[in-house]
Amino acid sequence: MHPAPSVIIFTTLSGLGFGLLFWLGLGFPAVTGWTAFAFFAIAYALAVGGLLASTFHLGHPERAIKAFTQWRSSWLSREACTSVAALVVMGLYGAGLVFFGERWALLGWIGAALSLLTVYTTSMIYAQMKTVPRWQTPLTPVLFLTLAITGGAILSGEVTAALVLLLLAAVVQVIWWQRGDGALAGSGTNLATATGLGKPGQVRAFEPPHTGTNYLLREFVHVVGRKHAMKLRLIALVLGYALPFALLALPFNHVFALLAVLSHLTGIAASRWLFFAEAEHVVGLYYGKR
């Protein structure tokens, strides 16, 4: 799949933003007034910034409002609905903390649940795709949710939780990669089932339908960056998990905490890049590619 920057930025930033909103909703850290304002501003900047970035890849962003209508069947529509619901509820809850110094706990819990639900709906957009075997696994929502909660813990300064979660997330990440590497072969879809020509003999793509490129090849058959996949996985592991872990394990210091956040963000962006670049869409088979 084509690793579109808008989608990578969107899933990385908004995942982190909703992760922070989750912790704020639960009352961690227990802030009010201007400190609360700062925390909420960061969370909203990440979550809303990510959502806005995602509209950049739309052909007709001006019609985006229509995406709220099909929540009965479409995960993308569900994501649109839950994200707005989460932002509204957490906005009210945040207003209570900032302007009235009051923590409306119930509202906070609802907002926290909605924030996680938003991350879940995002992950299901990918996990539902039978056409991309690497994504189609319950591990995909597990990965997105653990990453969001972990990132939120780092941002909200919940150091102990962050340390445990970083370890957990790293394990989920490695398992997700491991499983993904055999996913296409294990899916049962191959050139023989794609063409139905497996019975007479061995099928090989002889000539593509067009000599130039097209939408399908640009969008679904991204092979360029894959040869660096192993290096990038290492970078993602070190920057996303190991380094933040080390920085947070040291005696607390604001500079270290900031570095941990930045390192985590960069590592997760690299992991998200791989999430797309390594994903094989079955349509590539028709072109003799994967």
Binding interface with another protein (CB under 8 A): 1, 57-61, 63-64, 66-70, 72-77, 80, 125, 128-132, 187-189, 191, 193-197, 199-210, 212-216, 219-220, 281-283, 286-287
In terms of CB distance, is 44 or 287 closer to another protein? 287
* Nearest CA among 70, 74, 23, 18 for reference residue 48: 18
State phi, psi for 27 to the nearest 5 degrees: 95, 20
Shorter beta-carbon distance to another protein: residue 128 or 266: 128
Q: Indicate if the alpha-carbon torsion angle 75, 79, 81, 85 is positive or negative.
A: positive
Q: How far is the CB of 183 from another protein (least distance, A)?
A: 14
Q: Which is nearer to another protein, 50 or 244 (CB)?
A: 50
Nearest C-alpha neighbor of 48 from the set 89, 14, 5: 14
159-181 vs 139-155: helix axis angle to the nearest 10?
Answer: 150
CB of 287 to another protein, least distance (A): 8
Residue with Cβ nearer another protein (188 or 251): 188
Residue 5: CB minimum distance to another protein, A: 15
| Residue 94: C-alpha distances to residues 29, 159, 198, 273 (Å) | 13, 22, 60, 32
Shortest CB 77 distance to another protein, Å:
4
Rounded Cα–Cα distance for residues 155 and 43 (Å): 9
